[in-house]
Structure 1
C-alpha cells in the first residue's frame, strides 16, 4: 500500500506544501474523498484521504479540530486543503493539534482543482503497476528504435535523463565517465559530478552493484547506481540523481528497460573493439614472426598502436598456469576458457590504465603480451615494472594462478622479437623449475648453463683431455695443484692475490703454477690455454653434481 509521502512524485502534488503533521506522512493511502460538508466524517474510513476547499470550516476552527480528532481516531490518512481559498491561513490551534497527533495537513495551490488531483491520485493507487509497466514498455520501444538507428551512448543517456527528469550519467567498469545527460553540462552540476566520481573511486566494488549513496552537495537526495552488463567481467554503471522520487509513471522498470538497450549498445561497441584488437594482434604476430621486412613499415604500423621509436622496450608475457584441478576442469568447457582469457585481458588493460603505464597489450596464442616503453630503463624503472607486475598478479589471481616472464630491454623496434622470445623463455624457465604463480626476469645464460646443454660424453672428453692427470686427483699434492690453478685463474693470474687467498708463500704459488703448466702442457699466460682450463674446471663442477 502507498503512503501519503509516495504521492509527492505526482505532478499535481509537487507544488503542495505540508503545513502540519509532518510525522504522519508515512500513513497509508487507500482511497480519496472530496467534500466540503460538515458531516463528511460519516463518509470516511481507515486510510481515506480527504480533499477539501475548507469552506465548511472558514468560520469554525473548533469544528475543524473536532474533524481532525475524529479522522485520527478512524486512522484516516490526512487532509489536503486549499487554504487560500477560504481560510487564508491555517489556524494555530489546528496546526498544534495536527502536529501533536502526527496528522498531516497539506496545502493545495488554488490554481489546481480537487477533481484533477483526485483523479491523479486514484489512478496512481489503482493502476500504478499497470501504468508503470506500459510506460516501461514505451521506454524500451523508444530506446530500441534509437539503438537500431545507431544512436550514440551519449544520446541514449541524454534521452533517459529526459524520460526520468533526473540527471543521469554512465560510467564504465573502471569508474570512467562514458556519457551524461545535459544536466551535467550546467555549472551548478559540476560539483555534483565531481562528488559522484569521488564516491565511485572510494568504493568501486559497491557502486558496481545496485546501491544508493549520498554526496555532500545533495544531502537530502539519494544517488543510485544501476549495473549495466556487457561482455566485460565487471558491469558499467548507470548513476541517477534522486532516483528514489521518480516522477510518475517513471519507475525502476523503465530504468531497467533503458539499461538493457544501453547494455546491447555497449556489447556492440565492444564487438567493434574486438575486431580492432584482432588487427592489432595480427600486427604483433607479423612483427614477431618477422613477416615485416622494412624498418619503415615496422615504424609506421607500430606508431598506429602508440609504439614509438628510439625508446627502451620491455616485453612482459603473462599466462595462466596450466596446472591444478581447477584449470583441468575448466579445460572441459572451452567456452569458459575463452571467458577466462577475455577477463584476464580486460583486467590487464585495467592495470595498465590504473598504473599509468606506457604499454600496449597484445595476445599471441596462450600468452598475453605487454610491450612497455621507457625513455631510459634504469634501476628506478625496473622497480616500477616489478611493482606493476606484482600488483597485477595480485589483482588477477583468483581460482587460477598466473605467471609473468620479463625480457631485457631492447632499443630497436626490429629487436622486439628478441625481447618477446626472452620473455617466453623466462616463463618456460620458471615452469622447468616446477614453479607456478611466479615472476621471472630473463637472464643471459651463464657458461655453466650453456655447458649443461652439451652431451655429457663430450663434456667428459674435453675435461679429461684438458686436465689430464689432474682430472681425477687422487693425492693431496694433485688436489692442492687443482685448487691453486682455480684460485690463480680467479685472481686474474695475480701471484700476490693467489698467495693471500690460499695463505701460502708467493714462491709456493709460483712452483705449483709452473708444475701444473708442465703437466698440462700449457701456459696460463696464453689466453686460449687459460680459457680452456677455466672451461674444464667449470665442467668438473658439472660432472661432480651428476655424481
Structure 2
C-alpha cells in the first residue's frame, strides 16, 4: 500500500505544499474522495484521502477542526485543499491540531483541478505498471535536473543508490571504478567491491553486455551489471547489488532512465576529454615540426602530458593499412572512419594500461603515436616492446589491418622528433616492400642501402673512376689484387691479419698493396682514399648482384 509521501512523484502532486501534519506523510492511502459538503465525514473510511476546495467550512474554523479530529479517528490519510480558492489560509488552530495529530494538510495550487489530481492518484494506486512508469519518469526527471545543474558522476550514482536503496557502482569499459555509492565506503562492503572488480576484469566483455552473478562475500545476494552506452565502442557498466529484490515501485525501467542520464553525463565528459586530446595533439605536432624551440618549454609541456626527462624514449607508430576493399569502402563514409579512428585510439590506450607501460598516446595525421619510456632500453626492454606491439596489433586489427613502426631509443625528450621520423621511416620501408599488417623496427641505413637510392649512372661512374682498371678485373692477378685490398681494408690495414686470412706471406700482401696503390694513385693510409675505395668496392657488390638478377630473373 502507498503512503502520501509516495504520491509526490505524480505530476499533480509535485506542486503541492505540505502546510501541517508533516509527520503523518507516512499514512497509507487506499482511495480518494472529492467533496465540498459539510457532512463529508459520512462518506469517508479508513485510508481515504479527501480532496476539497474547502468551501463547506471556509468560514467555520471549529467545523474544520472537528473534521480533522473525526478523520483522524477514522484513520483517514489526510486532506488536500485548494486553499486559495475559498479559505486563502489555513487557521492556526487547525494547523496546530494537525501537527499534534500528525494529520497531513496539503495545499493544491489553483491551476490544478481536483478531478485531474484524483484521476492521477487513483491510476497510480490501482495500476501496477502505471505506478512503475510514474516512478521511472520521476527518477528520470530527478536525474535530468541533476545533470542540468552540473552534478558529477559520483553524485548521480549516489542518488541512484538512494532511490533504489541498493549499493551501486559505475565502471568504465575496462572494468575500472568511476563512481560508487556511499555504501562501499563502509568496511563491511570493501571486500564486496574488490570481489566485484576482480570478477569483472576476468571477462570484461561478458559483463559489459549485462548479467547477474555471485561473489563469495555476498552469499545471500546477487550482483547485476547493466551496459551504459557512451561514445566509446564498448559501453561502461552500472553495477547494482541485490537488483532482483528491488523495493517496489523501483524497476529495471527506473534503472534504465537513470542509466540514460548517466550515459549523457559520461558522453559530456568524453567530449571535454576529446577537446583536451586535441590540445595535446596540437602540442605534439608543434614538437615534431620543431615549432617549439625553447628547451625549457619542451620539458615543461611534455611533463604535463606525462613524459619524464630522465628516461629513454622510443616512438611506436600505428596506422591503418590503406589497402583492400574494406578500407576503400570505409573512405566513402567519413563518419565510419571517424568511429574507427576513435575506436583504435581507445584500444591502444587500453593496451598501454593493460600492458603496464609507461607511455603517452598522441595522434598526428594518419598515425597513432605511442611514446614509451624506460629507465634503460636494453635487450630485455626490446623484447617487452616486441610482445606489447604484437599483442596490440592482435587486439586492434579486425576487418582492417594495422602496421607498426618502432624507432631506436633517444635519451632526451628534445630528441623525440628524431624518434618519430625513424618510426615513420620504418613504416614507409614496410610499405616500400609491399607489406601490410607488419611490425618494423627502424634500423640505421647502411652504406649499401644509401647507395641503392642514387642514380645508377652516378654510382657506376664513381666505381669506375676509383678502381680504374680493377673495376672489371679480367686476369687472375687483377682479381687477387681486388680481393686483397678488400680484406686489407676490412682488417683495418693490418698486414698480418690480412696475410692470415688470405693464407699468404706478409711480403706478398705488402707487394699487392703497393702495386694497387700505384695503379689507383692513392694511399690506403689516407682516410679519404681509404673511404673512397671502400665505397667503390660496395658499389661493385651492388652491380654484381644486379647482373646476377638480370642473368637469372626470379
**Corresponding position: 1:511 with 2:514:** no
The structural deviation recorded for 1:281 is: 0.8
Which digits, 9 at most, give the CA deviation of each residue in 1:304-352, with x for residues without a partner? 2122223322111111111111111111111110000000101111111
* Number of residue equivalences: 427
3-state DSSP of counterpart to 1:307 = coil
Alignment partner of 1:161 is 2:161? yes
Cα distance between partner residues in 1 of 2:502 and 2:124: 101
Aligned to 1:431: 431
Q: What's 2:40 paired with?
A: none
Aligned to 1:152: 152
Matched, 1:215 2:215: yes
Aligned match of 1:203: 203
Task: Look up the match of 2:70.
Answer: none
Which residue in 2 is equivalent to 1:142? 142
TM-score when normalising by structure 1: 0.75
Paired residue for 1:540? Answer: 540
Looking at structure 2, the residues matched to 438 and 377 of structure 1 have their Cα atoms a distance apart, in angstroms, of 22
1:263 maps onto 2:263 in alignment: yes
Structure 1 equivalent of residue 455 of structure 2: 455
> Post-superposition shift, 1:123?
9.9
3-state SS in 1 of match to 2:368:
strand
Q: Which residue of 2 aligns with 1:311?
A: 311
Where do residues 45-64 of structure 1 align in structure 2 (5 Å cutoff)?
Answer: none
Q: Hey, what's the Cα distance between the residues in 1 that align with 2:125 and 2:352?
A: 53
Q: How far did 1:262 drift?
A: 0.5
Deviations 1:88-135 (A, max 9, x none): xxxxxxxxxxxxxxxxxxxxxxxxxxxxxxxxxx99997332221221
Q: Which residue of 2 aligns with 1:301?
A: 301
Partner of 1:97: none
Q: Distance in 2 between matches of 1:267 and 1:246?
A: 28
Q: Which segments of structure 1 move beyond 4 Å, counting only runs of 4 or more? A: 122-126
Residue deviations 1:496-537 (CA, integer Å, cap 9, x gap): 322332333434333332322222222222222221111100
Rounded Cα–Cα distance in structure 1 between residues aligned with 2:462 and 2:311: 44
- The offset of 1:392, in angstroms, is 1.2
1:376 is displaced (CA, Å) by: 2.2
1:394-451: per-residue Cα shift (whole Å, max 9, x none)? Answer: 1111111111111122222222211111111111111111111111111111111121
| SS, match of residue 291 in structure 2 | coil
Could you list the runs of 5+ residues in structure 2 that have no partner in the other structure? 2-121, 548-554
Q: How many angstroms does 1:159 deviate by?
A: 1.0
Name the residue aligned to 1:245: 245
How far off is 1:545 after superposition? 2.7
CA contact (8 A) 2:321 2:402 kept: yes
> What CA deviation, in whole Å up to 9, does each residue of 1:7-28 have, x standing for no partner?
9xxxxxxxxxxxxxxxxxxxxx
Distance 1:222 1:412 in 2: 53
Separation in 1 of the partners of 2:324 and 2:545? 31
Contact 2:124 2:130 in 1 (8 A): no
Structure 2 CA distance, aligned partners of 1:411 and 1:504? 47
Is the partner of 2:525 in helix, strand or coil? coil
CA distance in 1: counterparts of 2:496 and 2:299, whole angstroms: 56
TM-score by length of 2: 0.74
SS for the counterpart of 1:262 is helix
The yes-or-no answer on 1:388 pairing with 2:388 is: yes
**Structure 1 partner of 2:39:** none
How far the C-alpha of 1:256 sits from its partner, in A, is 0.9
Give me the CA root mean square deviation.
Answer: 1.9
CA contact (8 A) 2:125 2:131 kept: no
Q: Name the counterpart of 1:484.
A: 484
Tell me how far apart the structure 2 counterparts of residues 505 and 293 of structure 1 sit (CA, whole Å): 60
Aligned 1:6-405 pairs, distance under 5 A: 127-405=127-405
CA distance in 1, matches of 2:419, 2:187: 50
Distance 1:249 1:475 in 2: 104
Deviates further, 215-224 or 489-498: 489-498
Shift of 1:353: 1.4
How many Å apart are 1:379 and its aligned residue? 2.2
Deviations 1:446-481 (A, max 9, x none): 111121222211111110011111111122222222
Q: Distance in 2 between matches of 1:510 and 1:301?
A: 61
CA distance in 2, matches of 1:324, 1:125: 62
Kept after mapping to 1: 8 A contact 2:123/2:130? no
SS of the equivalent of 1:342 reads helix
Structure 1 range deviating more: 319-328 or 369-378:
369-378
Q: Distance in 2 between matches of 1:455 and 1:467?
A: 19
